[in-house]
């Protein structure tokens, strides 16, 4: 039998949780609260739903492979040109396109300890070599990352804010770092959670693009824009990189429904504002509740918070599950005492806090 490439043979499939309905059946409980995948608890934008519904009428046709309408909306919204944009089936798709376009077997890819789980997957799938740098305070240690760059380094991933730790890099340190990166190293700045950050010194990667020809910024509609189930994200980069990414992109990789909904939600600034406000209030609620329970957490800039439960987290995760609250254990990240909790609706956050108090008391 034909063997997969060495990189693929060493991979393990991504372990997604069971569907909520299936868990409810298994555990014999209803109304499970899922705070595990950094989804938007607000429900989709009404405008996005109406646009997706209308797009169903074209379901017999292939989608617009170039995503003309969405690119035009992105141009208006962010001031980017169409030849700087690559659309993806979620930003995970875009991360994979980047790896496929640029990595040869044996090339080195630098990313940090506690970085997003997809970076090692796309690296290894291309039989490239992951160079994992030690974190600083659970975030990126840019000095260590700069020192890890060699002649063989081709890509470097930074998530800002980072998932699963929620840490963020500010503009000055990021720019000082980018200034030191050799041009042949492509820096991927993954800004999946950028909309949640309102600090004045937080960088906007899109504004940095003109200054760095080796920079790719990735964004998603899955988080603050509330369209995770439709799968749409994009990369913004200079036209030369964009041309290469589009060469490896599957035609029709983003569905009609996703294109239409993303275009519509970009015009729904109220929705974005409500998402961000709900998140801010929920973050405060969780921080206060955790402090009351005497638990430490990593201050987060995203739509989730990573909590130190000060004991092995896996049994806590399982006990929370039995209480009907799904969160994310971070054992695979070698954070065996941490759980990541996505910010939910006020009543969902409350339910989590009450369940946690009960579980930790046992
Ligand atoms: N980057 C980061 C840092 C993420 O946390 C996620 C989602 N968990 C993604 C990218 C991918 O999101 P999507 O494919 O839904 O756009």
Same domain, 50 and 194: yes
- Average model confidence (pLDDT) for the chain? 96
Check residue 6 and give its pLDDT.
Answer: 81
Pocket test for ligand 1, best of 86, 92, 205, 328 (most atoms within 8 A of CB): 92
Residues 94/234, Cβ–Cβ less than 8 Å: yes
Average pLDDT over residues 108-126: 97
Which of 15-24, 151-160, 324-333 is predicted most confidently? 151-160
Same domain, 37 and 62: no
Check residue 336 and give its pLDDT.
Answer: 96
Same domain, 240 and 139: yes
Q: How many whole angstroms separate alpha carbon 258 and alpha carbon 362?
A: 45
Same domain, 65 and 128: yes
Name the domain boundary from 267, 296, 328: 267
Q: Over pLDDT 70: what percentage of the chain?
A: 100
Query: Could you tell me the pTM of the whole model?
Result: 0.97
| DSSP result, 209-249 | GGG-TTEEEEEESSSTT--GGG--EEEE--HHHHHHHHHHS
Q: Which atom of ligand 1 is nearest to the CA of 231?
A: 15
Q: Over pLDDT 90: what percentage of the chain?
A: 90
Check residue 285 and give its pLDDT.
Answer: 98
Ligand 1 centroid, distance to 190 Cα (angstroms): 8
How many domains is the chain built from?
2
Beta pairing class for 108-112 and 153-159:
parallel
Same domain, 168 and 125: yes
The DSSP element (H or E) to which 90 belongs, if any, is none
Average pLDDT over residues 310-332: 96
Average pLDDT over residues 281-296: 98
Same domain, 21 and 95: no
Q: Which atom of ligand 1 is nearest to the CA of 37?
A: 8
Same domain, 307 and 241: no
Same domain, 133 and 259: yes
CATH code, 114: 3.40.640.10
Range of the domain at 160: 46-267
Pocket test for ligand 1, best of 118, 119, 330 (most atoms within 8 A of CB): 118
Ligand 1 neighbours by CB, cut-off 6 Å: 38, 90-92, 116, 159, 163, 190, 192, 220, 222, 228, 233
Q: Which pLDDT band holds residue 1 (cuts at 50, 70, 90)?
A: low
Q: Which pLDDT band holds residue 79 (cuts at 50, 70, 90)?
A: very high
Q: How many whole angstroms separate alpha carbon 148 and alpha carbon 181?
A: 11
The DSSP element (H or E) to which 132 belongs, if any, is strand 129-133
């Amino acid at each position: 039998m034909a063997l997969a490439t060495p990189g693929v043979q060493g991979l393990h499939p991504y372990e997604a949780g069971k569907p909520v309905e299936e868990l409810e059946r298994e555990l014999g409980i209803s109304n499970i609260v899922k705070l595990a995948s950094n989804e938007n608890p607000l429900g989709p934008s009404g405008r996005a739903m109406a646009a997706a519904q209308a797009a169903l009428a074209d379901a017999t046709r292939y989608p617009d492979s170039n995503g003309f309408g969405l690119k035009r909306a992105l141009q208006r919204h962010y001031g980017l040109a169409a030849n700087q944009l690559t659309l993806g089936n979620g930003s995970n798709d875009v991360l994979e396109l980047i790896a496929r376009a640029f990595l040869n077997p044996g090339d080195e890819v630098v990313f940090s300890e506690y970085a997003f789980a997809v970076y090692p997957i796309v690296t290894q799938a291309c039989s490239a070599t992951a160079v994992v740098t030690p974190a600083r305070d659970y975030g990126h240690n840019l000095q260590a990352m700069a020192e890890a760059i060699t002649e063989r380094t081709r890509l470097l991933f930074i998530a800002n804010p980072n998932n699963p730790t929620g840490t963020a890099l500010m503009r000055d340190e990021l720019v000082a770092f980018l200034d030191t990166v050799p041009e042949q190293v492509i820096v991927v700045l993954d800004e999946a959670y950028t909309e949640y950050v309102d600090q004045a010194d937080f960088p906007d990667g899109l504004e940095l693009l003109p200054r760095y020809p080796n920079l790719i910024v990735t964004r998603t509609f899955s988080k603050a824009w509330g369209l995770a189930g439709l799968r749409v994200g994009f990369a913004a980069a200079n036209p030369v990189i964009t041309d290469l990414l589009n060469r490896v992109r599957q035609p029709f990789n983003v569905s009609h429904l996703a294109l239409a909904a993303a275009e519509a939600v970009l015009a729904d600034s109220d929705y974005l504002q409500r998402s961000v406000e709900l998140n801010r209030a929920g973050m405060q609620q969780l921080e206060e509740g955790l402090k009351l329970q005497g638990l430490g957490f990593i201050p987060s800039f995203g739509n989730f918070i990573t909590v130190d439960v000060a004991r092995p987290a896996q049994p806590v995760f399982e006990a929370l599950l039995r209480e009907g609250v799904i969160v994310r254990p971070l054992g695979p990240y070698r954070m065996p005492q941490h759980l990541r909790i996505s910010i939910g609706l006020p009543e969902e956050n409350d339910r989590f806090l009450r369940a946690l108090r009960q579980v930790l008391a046992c």
